[in-house]
Amino acid sequence: MGLTIAQKIIKNHLVSGQMVAGEDIGLKIDQTLTQDATGTMAYLEFEAMGIDRVKTERSVAYIDHNTLQTGFENADDHRFIQSMAKAHGIYYSHPGNGICHQVHLERFGAPGKTLIGSDSHTPTGGGIGMLAMGAGGMDVAVSMGGGAYHIPMPKMLRVNLSGKLRANVSAKDVILEVLRILSVKGGVGYIVEYAGEGVKTLSVPERATITNMGAELGATTSIFPSDEITRAFLAAQDREKDYTELSSDPDAVYDKEIDIDLSQLSPLAALPHMPDNVKKVSEIAGTVVNQVLIGSCTNSSLADMLKVAQMLDGKTVCPDVSVGIAPGSKQVLNMLAECGALSKIIAAGVRVLECACGPCIGMGQSPCSAGVSLRTFNRNFLGRSGTKDAGIYLVSPETAVAAALTGVITDPTSLPAVENPKLPEKFLINDNLIDPPAPSSEGIEILRGPNIKPFPVSRPVENQMTAAATLKVGDNITTDHIMPAGAKILPYRSNIPYLSQFCFNVCDKDFAQNCQKYGENIIVGGENYGQGSSREHAALVPLYLGVRAVIAKSFARIHVANLINAGILPLTFKNPEDYDGISQFDRLTLCGVRDNIEGEIILKNETTGKEITLISGLSGRSKEIMLAGGLLNYTKLKG
């Protein structure tokens, strides 16, 4: 039986376990990346392991999230990360150099390599045939130290692409169609592989758009073949030596397949407040728009920006619409300036933002009250923009520009056709904002600001726990619900005690106070608990607030790993209807936790007298991590 692309890479990097779906496997990691919102914690964890130098082929620290410096906090974190990178063998990408995923695709990613990053959109690297996965900071720290990255062996989902996209229909519409078909939890447990004749019609930036937003499917990752289009992209980046051809075997077996005819796609939009709430743009045409933002790691490539410039050439944006654009990297911005495209964008009345994540992570450009904002981003969770009552729509650059010009949601296929720009044979190479590490750590001072506080330390799980249910939430709770982003909160990512007062504010503004009142406590959730970002703060902050267990109908992949790494016990209902048998503030007792950690655990609701059967299902390494009280404790015990 043949192998898929992902299975081939896994086989070449397998250090433990069997390639059987659902079984724990350990993978050798070639490359890691961090960004500054998660990086400080990851490097504090790496430091706590006592390892002098990273053991990966390439590790890179990017500064792209917390670049809005309204106080000393972000600047101090950047200085800390820079000194850690210099001392421990890590490349450092300065603020202004660009978004981690865009820069990594340009300058470091390579087909056939494994990459994990402390950002959920790390699967962007799948656009050039990498096995690239988002992970919690602790997992990244372990991999930097030479440890394996452990995941359940995924199933394989093939998306067969045929035909060719029509004019003004783009790669963003492809991934929105996949989300419409599968939903935000339809990819859980799968690696999504794109195949078929339609693949040959998509450039690397288009492929990267699709794999980037595959994170919203809940998938382990997404991947494209590495072919002559990949080779041309790498050659243009002066990196043809990194090229390796990769394709699936003709007799490879997939667990699930879906078919998409690119020629039949129409422009699509994800409506508030979920990326799978997808409709045709023509169905919502005429909706008044207040803001348009173009950029993010999903749609900030040179190809995207050249399309935007072409559509804006000689025109002026609607005076009632605030329009901003953020190129994904310094390389993109430089090349836009050199070819004159940037001048066309500025002349049209567009605000040019920094080469950074910016408004995608809530760092500036919040829309007006109850405003409608069209964004080429990947997430539109409630409140993520910084304006809780705003309506955020996720669209392609073509749809975004159409609305910017007309002032209303407009089907871009009703406008003159935009030609796909021809990518240059040579990109402008200037890595002067990427610092290589020092040869050794000798004499290098690690610079810490007063906002950097120690991370909370867990303890081994007890055999019996009694605690209050301080919070009960519904389905599709995101990491933005648990630990919000935004300009007011992100600067405190290094300060867990301060950050704790914002935990679950979107769901229950009294959550932190209730945790202080009740002490050790338990959270109850619905389906797909913890979807979204890889931010381990969504586990570390609850840990600080005394959360010992989370009981849910199901969990998102990265978040459940982060809970285990933090020493918080993840449990699922054996019978999902038992979710209704727990109310907020009920007193709950978990019985025989250590004795039954690989199977069923009985919960006694002391308030109602009801008994509920829960599934732990931890085994092997995950069980040992939980029994040790988290990944850091486990790693220290293993020496």
Q: What are phi and psi of 413, to 5 degrees?
A: -70, -10
Does position 639 have pLDDT exceeding 80, yes or no?
A: no
Higher model confidence: residue 491 or residue 230? 230
Does position 571 have pLDDT exceeding 70, yes or no?
A: yes
pTM of the model: 0.93
Per-residue pLDDT band for 386 (boundaries 50, 70, 90) equals confident
Going across the sheet that includes 91-93, the strands are 131-134, 114-117, 31-35, 58-62, 91-93, 434-435
Higher model confidence: residue 420 or residue 128? 128
Average pLDDT over residues 352-362: 93
Q: How far apart are CA 332 and CA 352, in angstroms?
A: 13
CB atoms within 10 A of CB 490: 23
Considering the segment(s) 268-414 as one domain, its CATH architecture is 2-Layer Sandwich (3.30)
Percent of the chain at pLDDT > 90 equals: 90
Measured CA distances, 609 to 79, 353, 589, 612 (Å) = 54, 57, 11, 10
Q: Which fold has domain 465-638?
A: Aconitase; domain 4 (3.20.19)
Measured CA distances, 341 to 19, 209, 329, 413, 421 (Å) = 48, 21, 15, 22, 12
Does position 319 have pLDDT exceeding 90, yes or no?
A: yes
Q: Are strands 465-472 and 521-524 parallel, antiparallel or unpaired?
A: parallel
Kind plus residue range of the DSSP H or E element containing 480: helix 479-482
Average pLDDT over residues 213-225: 97
Average pLDDT over residues 134-138: 94
Residue at token pair 């990427």: 434
Does position 68 have pLDDT exceeding 90, yes or no?
A: no
Kind plus residue range of the DSSP H or E element containing 611: strand 611-615
Average pLDDT over residues 273-291: 97
217 half-sphere exposure, CB direction, 13 A CA radius:
28
Do the Cβ atoms of 116 and 139 come closer than 8 Å? yes
Choice among 99-108, 310-319, 402-411, 453-462 with the minimum mean pLDDT:
453-462
Do the Cβ atoms of 242 and 31 come closer than 8 Å? no
Does position 485 have pLDDT exceeding 80, yes or no?
A: yes
Do the Cβ atoms of 312 and 397 come closer than 8 Å? no
Average pLDDT over residues 187-197: 97
Average pLDDT over residues 267-295: 97
Is the peptide bond preceding residue 150 cis, with omega within 30 degrees of 0? no
Q: What are phi and psi of 525, to 5 degrees?
A: -135, 175
- Tens digit of each residue's pLDDT (9 = 90 or more) over 18-66: 999 999 999 999 999 999 999 999 999 999 888 999 999 999 999 999 8
- Among 365, 213, 189, residue whose Cα is nearest residue 275: 213
The pLDDT of residue 89? 97
* Residue-averaged pLDDT of the chain: 95
Outline where DSSP puts E strands in 8-142: 14-16, 24-27, 31-35, 58-62, 91-93, 114-117, 131-134
- Tens digit of each residue's pLDDT (9 = 90 or more) over 535-547: 899 999 999 999 9
Give domain limits for the chain: 5-264, 268-414, 465-638
- Tens digit of each residue's pLDDT (9 = 90 or more) over 520-533: 999 999 999 999 88
Do the Cβ atoms of 304 and 205 come closer than 8 Å? yes
Angle between helices 137-144 and 557-566 (to 10 degrees): 70
Do the Cβ atoms of 470 and 518 come closer than 8 Å? yes
Do the Cβ atoms of 176 and 394 come closer than 8 Å? yes
* Beta-bridge mates of residue 600: 615
**Is 3.30.499.10 the CATH number for 5-264?**
yes
φ/ψ region of 460 (left if φ > 0, alpha if ψ in -120 to 50, else beta) reads beta
Comparing 5-264 with 268-414, is the CATH topology the same?
yes
φ/ψ region of 278 (left if φ > 0, alpha if ψ in -120 to 50, else beta) reads beta
- Tens digit of each residue's pLDDT (9 = 90 or more) over 83-128: 999 999 999 999 999 999 999 999 999 999 999 999 999 999 999 9
Angle between helices 72-88 and 36-48 (to 10 degrees): 50
Q: What are phi and psi of 351, to 5 degrees?
A: -80, 130
Q: Are strands 434-435 and 91-93 parallel, antiparallel or unpaired?
A: antiparallel
The pLDDT of residue 619? 85
- CA 321 to chain CA centroid, Å, is 29
Do the Cβ atoms of 156 and 190 come closer than 8 Å? yes
Per-residue pLDDT band for 491 (boundaries 50, 70, 90) equals confident
